[in-house]
Amino acid sequence: MRNKRKTKKLVIIPAHNEQENIGQVVTRIRELDKAADIVVIDDDSTDRTTRVARLAGAKVIRLSSNMGYGVALQAGYKYTFERGYDYLVQLDGDGQHDPVYIPELLRQVASEKTDMIIGSRFIKERTQNKPSLPKYKTGIPWCCCGRVNSVNDLSVTKIEQYGLGTGTK
């Protein structure tokens, strides 16, 4: 019997000096998935990234100094595990990646046919049944979507890589 509790989804967005883009990114995610929580990890921006993200409806974790993209991601992952989310989507806050693909990525992972999807805007091949599923895995990832078990029990049995279109930039 399946668990009837509500599925918890989180979108994490590392950002540094993205006041011009972050509001649109958060707003677009919210339009596409009202149930997903959105957390922007502000890597000590010197502009209004934090304020714009909050006004758009995101929770913001502000790092105390500029520690870089990797540390911002780690802060987002830690937040995800500590709060018991079932699904995690990661994308950048610069507006290059169209959030329109997030619902499909989540559907694919929720289908339990795959545990993790890495999206790349550099893959051009498309198939009839999937938006842009390549026959082989290449490209540089920009978006990651996966099922979260726990920090000590992260099992990945199948990874899919999607080629995804670019967004606003």
What is the residue-wise DSSP string for 21-90?
THHHHHHHHHHH-TTSEEEEEE-S-SSSHHHHHHHTT-EEEE-SS---HHHHHHHHHHHHHHTT-SEEEE
Per-residue pLDDT of 34-75, as tens digits, reads 999 999 999 999 999 999 999 999 999 999 999 999 999 999
CATH of the domain at 101: 3.90.550.10
Total domains in the chain come to 1
Rounded to whole angstroms, how far apart are CA atoms 169 and 166? 7
Specify the pTM: 0.75
Which residue range forms the structural domain that includes residue 108? 9-163
Domain assignment present for residue 168? The answer is no
Rounded to whole angstroms, how far apart are CA atoms 14 and 49? 11
